[in-house]
Amino acid sequence: MRARLAAIVIVLACVGFAASSRAYAVPDDEIRSAFSRFVDANNAHDLDGVGKLLADSADFLWISRGDVVRERGAALDRFREVFLSSWRIDPDWSTFEALGLDDRTVEVFVRVDISTHAPARTAQMNVLLVRTAHGWRVLHIFVSNLPPESAACDTPGRGCA
């Protein structure tokens, strides 16, 4: 009897540990909407709109093409420069994933095409969103280029290794 009770306690402890280590449930519609508003403000070159979606934090970080931008004010200055050119982000919504890190933090992963004057480049965009009193805000932006063959390898039947 004691052995069975001990086994039940151990199993419950393991289940509790596993449950507590899982990613948090993500309000997918809210996250997709927040990210979509961020993309739309970028594509409209709406500096005010982008500014309202950036977290007002000294921990703000934006890394893209080797450039590192820290703090919201510096990011707005960089967006102001970037918005002088024709620039567009087109997410591949079929690759959109959101991972809840805790009840106030979600990381978004999505493949995007970023176009300027040259042909679009395919990139992986990771955005860390934090829940604030004013809704979801962007705290970190990481954009990494993907090699051209990686897009082809996602297509079924391409035979990529």
Domain assignment of residue 102, yes or no: yes
* Domain presence at residue 101: yes
Question: Whole-angstrom Cα distance, residue 27 to residue 61?
Answer: 24
Question: Which residues, 6+ apart, have CB-to-CB distance to 66 below 8 Å?
Answer: none
Considering the domain boundaries, does residue 157 fall inside one? Answer: no
pLDDT at residue 155 greater than cutoff 50: no
Q: Which two tokens stand for residue 33?
A: 């909407």
> What integer pLDDT is reported at residue 87 of this predicted model?
82
Look up the CATH number of the domain holding residue 53: 3.10.450.50
pLDDT digits (tens, 9 = 90+) for 10-36: 433 444 444 444 456 767 889 999 999
Helix (H, G, I), strand (E, B) or coil at 30: helix
Note down the domain range covering 84.
23-148
Predicted confidence at residue 119, as pLDDT, reads 75
Could you tell me where the beta strands, DSSP code E, fall in the chain?
61-64, 67-70, 88-91, 97-102, 105-115, 121-132, 135-145
* Helix H or strand E encompassing 158: none
Number of domains composing the chain: 1
Q: In this predicted model, what pLDDT tens digit does every residue of 86-106 receive, in sequence order?
A: 889 999 999 999 999 998 999
- Predicted pLDDT of residue 29: 87
Distance CA 39, CA 95 (A): 15
Residue 16 lies in a domain: no
Q: Does residue 2 lie in a domain region? A: no
pLDDT of 7 above 50:
no
Q: pLDDT tens digits, residue range 36-95? A: 999 999 999 999 999 999 999 989 999 988 889 999 999 999 999 989 988 899 999 999
> Could you tell me if residue 82 is inside a domain?
yes
In a domain, 30, yes or no: yes
- Indicate whether 18 belongs to any domain: no
**Measured distance CA(99)–CA(68) in Å, rounded:** 24
